[in-house]
Amino acid sequence: MARTDRCRSLAELGALVDTLAPGASPSVVTADRWVFGELSRAVRHDLLGKDCCRSLPDGLLSRANLAAYMTAAEQDDLRARPRRTSVAHPENSTNVRRRVLRRFAKALGTELELPPPPPVRVIPPVTARQQARLQSHVSGWASFLPPQYARRAVYVRLAAIVGIVVDTRARSGELVAMTVDDLAPGLTTATITRRPQGGWPGEVEELPLPAATRKAVAAWLELRGQLVGSLAGTPPRALWVSVRNGGRLGRAGLPIGPMALRRQYASAVAQLNADMKAQGVVGWVDLPRTLERLRHVDKTTRAPEVPVAEQPPNSAATAA
């Protein structure tokens, strides 16, 4: 294992990162320090060439060492802490690394020879059948878990969230901005204030909700009423609130953020994918674990409206 404190290139690059920081945005500074940290670990674990510690712009930023660094980074070998689960390497991370390295080169007044970018990975859209299976899965758990089980409240909320996303294509930020006032009497429609990525709230849309989603939302509103009713003072108007005491929010009934929604969705999809594999369902393709993917559906196929679950979610024998 190499001594990073004796690496001339790392010392010079660290000084460069500190020099660039005052005139950069917080996100740019974070990205710069992230890449510097990965390069430090690459040196420490002897993943680069023997010349990596020569003075910049040679050393760390040579063609061969950059290629070795990018390969190790894309194989997840340079994380400060290992992932809990194995995931496909995000293309966005690769693009951020390339932008940061070019910024370093520009500050040094030199040109980089970066390896060619990986081919763009085409992600197939979620099919209508996959959507229907997901809705059946979460509504099934919400229906069949006994009330004393803490997970039941999680699935009651998730069943409503999935229904809203499927029917309105709402982003996670648009979801957490919803209030109970965005639901029409009888739950016939939901109002979504669009929030484009990187933009301010924009167009407001009122979209119809089918029977299955209305049932899921009604179950959630009943539970939500109990949760916010236990709070002192004026109850929050946010549609989505926490269902457990403790954790970051401290109390059940307080509004939750987009990260909590995304984590819960990823957990439920992982369970569904595992159930389908365990049952040996022929033709099942794993659902993506990101909530954003649920918004992109193959419109060439359509599935019937999801019926109310009549059996536990793990008893299905065929893929729909």
The confidence band for 319, taking pLDDT boundaries of 50, 70 and 90, is very low
Q: Nearest CA to 100 among 108, 82, 4? A: 108
- Residue 200 has what pLDDT? 62
- Residue 202 has what pLDDT? 74
Flag whether pLDDT at 303 surpasses 70: no
67-116 pLDDT, tens per residue? 999 999 888 888 877 665 444 456 778 889 999 999 999 999 998 888 88
- Residue 138 has what pLDDT? 85
- Residue 90 has what pLDDT? 63
Q: 129, 183 in Cβ contact below 8 A?
A: no
Q: 152, 255 in Cβ contact below 8 A?
A: no
% of the chain at pLDDT higher than 90: 37
* Helix intervals (H) in the chain: 8-20, 26-44, 63-74, 91-108, 128-144, 150-168, 172-176, 211-229, 258-278
Distance of alpha carbon 268 from alpha carbon 62, whole angstroms: 44
User: Looking at the chain, how many residues does it have?
Assistant: 320
